[in-house]
Amino acid sequence: MKCSQCSCDDTKVIESRDVAEGESVRRRRACVVCGYRFTTYERVERPQLIVVKNDGTRQLFSQQKLLAGLYRACEKTPVTSLQLEKLVRSIEHELYACADSEVSSGKIGEMVMDRLRELDEVAYVRFASVYRRFTDIASFERELSHIRKHKQEVTD
């Protein structure tokens, strides 16, 4: 690793620790020549996931875009940022485990809804109303009855 100060190739690792639940390694380094200290992060590079939208267009999977949608759905609910980040990581892990380079936006939406239903019902309904494009009160009521039915099955 080159020193970011003097561009010398001779640096040494002072300290290493796992970060992001073991997904990355944080290393504190020092340049042997100038003594400058800096931090580097090492993580596994995965192939890019392509999301196939409903209209057939393709775009790169974005954790940030998914997280932004979840933040909107979870506004003014007790759901924490940490919970949402964990939810997004679990979805991403599951997508990579499928070993497909392309995934439909529908599959991602269903994965989000399955997890949100367990996390917070209000957030789930908000997300579902946008994702399923509720156009009237009847479709909204159908979704609420699905939630009640699912809740009843879990408690029985």
Please give the residue range of the domain that contains residue 28.
Answer: 11-43
Give the burial string for 42-72 (b: 16+ CB within 10 Å, else e).
eeeeeeebebbeeeeeeeebeeeebeebbee
Is the same domain home to 28 and 78? no
* Per-residue pLDDT tens over the stretch 98-117: 878 899 988 999 899 889 98
In a domain, residue 5? The reply is: no
pLDDT of the residue at 125? 85
* Per-residue pLDDT tens over the stretch 73-105: 999 999 999 999 999 989 988 988 887 889 998
CB atoms within 10 A of CB 88: 19
Counting the structural domains of the chain, the total is 2
pLDDT of the residue at 66? 93
CB atoms within 10 A of CB 94: 14
Parts of the chain with a pLDDT under 50: none
In a domain, residue 69? The reply is: yes
Is the same domain home to 107 and 62? yes
Angle (nearest 5°) at CA 27 between 18 and 88: 40
pLDDT of the residue at 20? 73
In a domain, residue 54? The reply is: yes
